[in-house]
Amino acid sequence: MRCRHVRARPDGVQQGTLKIRHPLVDAGWKSSYNNFPTMRRACPILFLAILASAFAGPTTVDAEKPNILWIVGENLCLDLGIYGMENVETPHLDGLARKGQRYTNVYSTSPVCAPSRSAFMVGMYATTTDTHHMRSHRDDDFRLPEGVRPITHRLSDAGYITANIKMIGERRVGTGKLDLNFVNEGPLYHTTEWARLKGNEPFFAMINMVENEYDIYDRQTYKHDRVAWDGEEQHPKVATPGNVTPPPYYPDHPIVREEWSRYLNSVSGMDIRVGWILEQLEKDGLADNTIVVFFGDNGRMEPRGIHWLWDSGIHVPMIVYYPKGVSAPARHKVGGVNEEVISLIDLTATTLEMAGIAKPLGMQGRRFLGRETDPPRRYAFSARDRIDETALRMRSVRGERYHYIRNYSEGEGFFTLNRYKEKCFRIKPVMRTLMAEGKLKGAALQLMQAMPYELLYDTQKDPHEIVNLARSKDPAHRAAFVSMSAALDTWMAETGDRGVFPEPREIVAPFTKEMHDWFGTPDWALEKPVK
């Protein structure tokens, strides 16, 4: 029988001028081979046989099995000293970067924790696996698509003990946070105890750091006093309202300066915990055989960061350290800086490669380190869908220089109601007040306007992403706009973007009530009682 080339056709669901068929509907996951570019030339029958074999279990390609430690910075941009951020003290992470390799163009697939984590825990876009809405599928018996498995299960099959660490002795180093949009895949970890790692190697351990600082209030609407954040006593007072320079899209206001300094001090506090972790690795004799990867799960904890597809919501740090007891791949340069465009789902495939496990066929993440690597990315793609009760749909394409954002929720934007942000982020109500008084100016005033359908930024000349170049006639801007817009259409079609299917109202409505009960509804938005 002759194999013939089968070309993917983006037909199916109508979305504007683009028709999309989701790869997980109708005939199922395995029949969607034509949505994976690497397999478009494969014989269909042969492909299915290979795919079934690849997803059946891990394939060990290297006898060397180092320990692997993920340290996940909660809600963090490139706000470390080694990245040039001022008014922070991060000596432990800066030192890790000098002994390892620092990455400067890493992007989360979502600007909020649950979809981002649901993606990098399986190496697949949340928009492909239907885990793209914030805190969805918690009680509906949802299952991941056939063949899609958490990385901890793949590592466990290969002989790794897996751990999600909260405490090292009496010290709190992590939260144990999962916050995944799939809950029925079985236990993800063998243990939460650091003491079980020594003597049970190889291990894969994950430490989710305590969240970086922000205004958090008791989830009772009649209580308005600020609640002290976990570990706040560990925050050095390096940043002060008098020495910080908040981003220019915020007004120069005392509360803005206070909040920005508290955020930076929390980053310094996070570094202290990282120091505890690295110290314990040495004490336990584990440091020489443990690869350490530090990265952020999504952008920084501030109003224009988390939840939004600007760089402040998706641009995250990454540091990879190979110890002396583990052979580093050729592309790893001690003290080096890697400027490739990388998606967080690439870390999943790369971690499997570190463990000597072949990348499963169909996994969307790419290996950027190891004996086997994949071609580098031209673009990183990110998506924002419903977050809490706020159902906005946006997509992002990030290259080395330009950043393209498409807003399917025209007429909405930063000003749109999200009760959690209105109560827990003091900057946003300040901006509303100043705007009502006619005192909001410049980029801050612009931020409070409706977002257009398309945005394009030159991040080299405009790192804060203020000047929208989507309608610029400059040839370089037009070339970037056309290329990135087309790339987004292709990515949505090839990955089966589930965002084309809106959630039913009966799913969204309970979130509205829950957010109202937790955080209240501001007077300006309270038109009728929330049921």
- CATH (domain of 157): 3.40.720.10
Decide if pLDDT at 46 tops 50. no
Asked if residue 468 is part of any domain, the answer here is yes
Determine the pLDDT at residue 223.
Answer: 65
- Over residues 127-185, the pLDDT tens digits come to 999 999 999 998 888 999 999 999 999 999 999 999 999 999 999 999 998 899 998 88
Tokens at 181, concatenated:
């949009």
Asked if residue 62 is part of any domain, the answer here is no
Least Cα distance to 69 among 222, 214, 284, 250 occurs for: 284
Looking at the structure, do residues 349 and 388 belong to the same domain, yes or no? Answer: no
Contact by Cβ (8 Å): 502, 13: no
Looking at the structure, do residues 30 and 81 belong to the same domain, yes or no? Answer: no
Looking at the structure, do residues 108 and 213 belong to the same domain, yes or no? Answer: yes
How does residue 222 score in pLDDT terms, banded at 50, 70 and 90? low
Looking at the structure, do residues 117 and 259 belong to the same domain, yes or no? Answer: yes
Asked if residue 530 is part of any domain, the answer here is no
Looking at the structure, do residues 352 and 424 belong to the same domain, yes or no? Answer: no
Domain boundary among 356, 377, 398: 377
Looking at the structure, do residues 334 and 475 belong to the same domain, yes or no? Answer: no
Count of H helices and E strands in the chain? 13, 16
Which element (helix H / strand E) includes 209?
Answer: none
Determine the pLDDT at residue 224.
Answer: 65
Least Cα distance to 250 among 458, 405, 448 occurs for: 448
DSSP secondary structure string for all residues of 86-145: SS---HHHHHHHHHSEEEEEEE-SSSSHHHHHHHHTTTS-HHHHT--STT-SSSS---PP
Tokens at 175, concatenated:
């939260």
Contacts of residue 175, defined as CB under 8 A and 6 or more positions apart, other chains included, come to 74, 166, 208, 209, 210, 211, 230
Domain boundary among 377, 403, 424: 377
Give residue 112's identity as a one-letter amino acid code: V
Domain boundary among 343, 360, 377: 377
Contacts of residue 438, defined as CB under 8 A and 6 or more positions apart, other chains included, come to none
| 98-111 average pLDDT score | 98
Looking at the structure, do residues 340 and 418 belong to the same domain, yes or no? Answer: no
| 473-500 average pLDDT score | 98
Looking at the structure, do residues 17 and 138 belong to the same domain, yes or no? Answer: no
Looking at the structure, do residues 102 and 228 belong to the same domain, yes or no? Answer: yes
Determine the pLDDT at residue 225.
Answer: 72
Inter-CA distances, 475 with 142, 453, 478, 482, Å? 47, 21, 5, 11
Q: What's the N-to-C CA distance of the chain in angstroms?
A: 62
Asked if residue 61 is part of any domain, the answer here is no
Looking at the structure, do residues 324 and 208 belong to the same domain, yes or no? Answer: yes
| 84-103 average pLDDT score | 98
Tokens at 17, concatenated:
């001028």
Q: pTM for this structure? A: 0.88
| 48-66 average pLDDT score | 47
Pick the more confident residue, 380 or 219: 380
How does residue 409 score in pLDDT terms, banded at 50, 70 and 90? very high
Structural domain boundaries enclosing 29? 13-56
Decide if pLDDT at 22 tops 90. no
Inter-CA distances, 369 with 10, 74, 328, 349, 365, Å? 32, 24, 9, 9, 12
Determine the pLDDT at residue 38.
Answer: 36
Pick the more confident residue, 427 or 28: 427
Whether the link from the prior residue into 37 is cis, omega within 30° of 0, is no
Looking at the structure, do residues 172 and 290 belong to the same domain, yes or no? Answer: yes
Decide if pLDDT at 59 tops 50. no
Number of domain units in the chain: 3
| 333-355 average pLDDT score | 98
Contact by Cβ (8 Å): 199, 170: no
Decide if pLDDT at 289 tops 90. yes
Which residues are bridge partners to 429 per DSSP?
Answer: none
Tokens at 162, concatenated:
């897996």
Pairing of strands 161-168, 203-208: parallel
Q: In this structure, what CATH number is given to the domain that contains residue 506?
A: 3.30.1120.10
In this structure, the number of other CB atoms found within 10 A of the CB of residue 237 comes to: 9
Provide the residue count of the chain: 531
Torsion of CA 160, 161, 164, 167, to 10 degrees: -130
DSSP secondary structure string for all residues of 54-97: HHHS--B--S---EEEEEEESS--S-SGGGT-SS---HHHHHHH
Looking at the structure, do residues 405 and 471 belong to the same domain, yes or no? Answer: yes
Tokens at 82, concatenated:
């080694």
Per 3-state DSSP, the chain is made up of helix, strand and coil in percentages (nearest 5) of 30, 15, 50
Tokens at 509, concatenated:
């409505």
Asked if residue 1 is part of any domain, the answer here is no
